[in-house]
Amino acid sequence: AQSVTQPDIHITVSEGASLELRCNYSYGATPYLFWYVQSPGQGLQLLLKYFSGDTLVQGIKGFEAEFKRSQSSFNLRKPSVHWSDAAEYFCAVGAPGGYQKVTFGTGTKLQVIP
């Protein structure tokens, strides 16, 4: 069975600084990988996804993520954080061969300070 680890529960960055959120997965085959963002009081919104091909994936709101098979990682990055990026971020892995079942990480809460 697949699993996802987000080792950082909470991260604080200054506005304008760069950001990297870590995600490690465990799955025996090529995974489908996702990053979602959840603003307070709302549901999850897809930031980006990786299925195959180019290992550097561009998403919405200026985010990108890089799939590294050798490290079983799919870290999310942003070169310059804005105050509106404060939210909780979830990494997820999809299970090939199943009916859309995905496993979510426990989330990383991002705080942005002026």
Partner 1 sequence: DVKVTQSSRYLVKRTGEKVFLECVQDMDHENMFWYRQDPGLGLRLIYFSYDVKMKEKGDIPEGYSVSREKKERFSLILESASTNQTSMYLCASSPLAKGGNQPQHFGDGTRLSIL
Q: Measure the CA–CA gap between 47 and 27, rounded to whole angstroms.
A: 21
Please tell me whether residue 46 binds partner 1 under the rule CB under 8 A.
yes
Output 75 or 104, the one with its CB closest to partner 1.
104
Q: Which of 61, 68, 82, 101 binds partner 1 (CB under 8 A)?
A: 101
Q: Identify residues 60-89 at the interface with partner 1 (CB under 8 A).
A: none
Name, in order, each residue with C-beta under 8 angstroms of 16's C-beta and a sequence gap of 6 or more: 80, 81
Cβ closest to partner 1, residue 17 vs residue 101:
101
The contacts of residue 77 (CB under 8 Å, 6+ apart) are 18, 19, 20, 21, 63, 64, 65, 66
Told to check if 107 binds partner 1 by CB under 8 A, we report: yes
Interface with partner 1, residue 98, by CB under 8 A: yes
6-25 residues in contact with partner 1 (CB under 8 A) are: 9
Q: How far is the CB of 111 from partner 1 (least distance, A)?
A: 15
Name the DSSP letter for residue 100.
S
| 80-95 core/surface letters (b: 16 or more CB in 10 A; e: else) | ebeeebbbbbbbbbbb
The residue ranges that bind partner 1 (CB under 8 A) are 9, 32, 34, 36, 41-46, 49, 51, 90, 93-102, 104-107
